[in-house]
Amino acid sequence: MFQVQVNFLAILVCAVVNMALGFMWYGPLFGKTWTDMMGWSKEQMEAGRIKMQKEGWKTYLLAFFSSLVMALVLAKFLFFASAYFNMSGIKIGMVAGFWSWLGFVAPVTLSFVLWEGKSWKLWLLTNGYYLLSLLIMGSILAVWM
């Protein structure tokens, strides 16, 4: 059995970048569009705002932790992908990010449309974020591999 070495600083940077991208994506860039597509009422929006004021730190802490896990798993996947595709650098980071999105994120989030009745536009908006996030994280990890 062998160990896959990872750069923990790169994983930390990926998590921070992922959080910043999420802030921009679901804030200034597409925040209004996203909340409209979610179909939230003004009451639901206000309840969410109040909850975030009281317990927002927990939400962001869990989101940051999940970003760390995603970056760690992508780093390990990147190790195998670079050997399989015989590539290195940003190119393999993008390839690994894309295949991670296509194989794991896109199919799972399809349930939003199929079972939860959400729109394809919301699926595209959400998946645009995840795809871009995985491409960026894959690139960071590949450069620091």
pLDDT tens digits, 79-91:
889 889 888 899 9
Neighbours of 10 (CB within 10 A): 18
pLDDT of residue 104: 96
pLDDT of residue 129: 98
Q: What are the residues whose beta carbons fall under 8 Å from the beta carbon of 110, sequence distance 6 or more? A: 123
pLDDT of residue 63: 95
In the chain, which residues have pLDDT < 70? 1-2
Q: How far, rounded to the nearest angstrom, does the alpha carbon of residue 6 sit from its chain's CA centroid?
A: 19
Distance CA 24, CA 29 (A): 6
Distance CA 48, CA 34 (A): 14
Distance CA 89, CA 87 (A): 7
pLDDT of residue 40: 81
Residue 26: DSSP 8-state: I
pLDDT of residue 1: 54
